[in-house]
């Protein structure tokens, strides 16, 4: 295994954190988070704050003021820190607002269908599975980080055409030694808290896992292997004579690619397959909207608007809890469940 692969794999072990304490909600299916305004909603929150009952009472009053009705509210047996709330007559946008006002910026999942473990999980990489934007960190080795990071930020907000912004940033890296990629992997790239636990636990539950990125295979192949993804899709940097040419090799991996990969994976599993997708930027919106349960991770406004599930705490294991998976079943870095109970 290359040095960079070993360094990243080691980082996944040291960066894993305990279960997040923020709340979570469920997804909306393939019609997008604004559908089903008059139907049943399942709202899940990771509600560990001591005054959660008072907050829930205030939220119920607020829902009643919006002509909604609380059918039930209880702790999940499989995930006791998760509060599940069934509501009739309140829309998703309304409930996001209620949760924010009564519980604060908590992890959540809203769903118009019963929540279940997915058959396929598709994830973005940069600022989702890892805490960095790879091209920004790589640019630092060329003394161009601030310039390139500014373009990245605008692209992730949806202010720039993704392909044009990608080609511009890659062009600025022309002449950079290929060896800078391995240095960047070793020195800069680290998984977000709970990333490996999320992937490995879903795999143990029979879920197919796919990493699809607008970033580069030089990074994504290493990250995908370290975290345990079954498939990796991304862009390829062109290299000649040991240096970057400033060009891309092969087709572009962009927002449409992410949506297409999700559709392919679901189709391969057959009608009715349940999917989870997670990302942070405008490039992830189509993928998030097309999934059964779409999550936005510490996300830009466009991704949050598209998603019914919000990860606000930064710990990816909250997704497992919101899906109803017992923390004793979480796969830790040594490859076994946290507990054998």
Residues with a catalytic annotation lie at: 124, 126
* Residue 244 CB contacts under 8 Å (≥ 6 apart), including other chains: 170, 173, 174, 175, 176, 177, 178, 237, 238
Classify the phi-psi angles of 186: left when phi > 0, otherwise alpha if psi is within -120 to 50, otherwise beta. alpha
At residue 110, the 3 state secondary structure works out as strand
Q: Where are the alpha helices (DSSP H) in the chain?
A: 3-15, 52-65, 92-103, 134-140, 145-157, 162-172, 179-187, 195-204, 217-227, 255-269, 285-290, 301-306, 317-322
From residue 338, how far is each of 47, 80, 155, 228 by CA, in Å?
A: 21, 16, 39, 17
How big is the CA angle at 40 (ends 36 and 43), to the nearest 5 degrees?
A: 100
Q: What DSSP designation does 251 have?
A: S
């Amino acid at each position: 295994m290359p040095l960079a692969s070993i360094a990243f794999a080691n980082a996944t072990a040291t960066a894993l954190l305990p279960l997040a304490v923020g709340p979570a909600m469920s997804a909306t299916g393939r019609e997008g988070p604004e559908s089903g305004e008059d139907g049943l909603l399942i709202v899940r929150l990771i509600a560990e704050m001591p005054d959660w009952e008072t907050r829930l009472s205030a939220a119920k009053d607020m829902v009643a003021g919006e002509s909604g009705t609380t059918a039930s509210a209880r702790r999940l047996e499989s995930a006791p820190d998760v509060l599940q709330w069934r509501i009739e007559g309140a829309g998703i946008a309304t409930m996001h607002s209620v949760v924010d006002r009564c519980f604060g910026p908590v992890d959540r999942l809203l769903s118009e269908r019963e929540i279940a473990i997915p058959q396929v999980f598709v994830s973005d990489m940069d600022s989702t599975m890892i805490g960095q934007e790879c091209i920004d960190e790589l640019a630092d080795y060329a003394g161009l980080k601030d310039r390139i990071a500014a373009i990245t930020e605008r692209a992730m907000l949806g202010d720039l055409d993704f392909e044009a912004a990608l080609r511009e940033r890659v062009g600025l890296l022309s002449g950079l030694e290929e060896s800078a990629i391995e240095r960047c992997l070793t020195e800069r790239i680290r998984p977000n808290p709970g990333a490996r636990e999320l992937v490995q636990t879903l795999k143990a539950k029979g879920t197919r896992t796919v990493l699809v990125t607008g970033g580069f295979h030089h990074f994504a192949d290493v990250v995908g292997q370290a975290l345990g993804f079954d498939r990796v899709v991304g862009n390829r940097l062109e290299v000649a004579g040991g240096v970057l040419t400033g060009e891309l090799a092969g087709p572009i991996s962009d927002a449409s690619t992410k949506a297409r990969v999700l559709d392919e994976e679901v189709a391969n599993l057959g009608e009715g397959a349940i999917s989870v997708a997670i990302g942070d930027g405008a490039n992830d919106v189509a993928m998030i909207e097309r999934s059964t349960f779409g999550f936005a991770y510490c996300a830009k406004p466009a991704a949050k608007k598209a998603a019914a599930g919000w990860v606000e705490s930064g710990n990816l294991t909250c997704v497992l809890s919101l899906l109803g998976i017992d923390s004793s079943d979480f796969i830790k870095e040594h490859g076994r469940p946290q507990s054998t109970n």
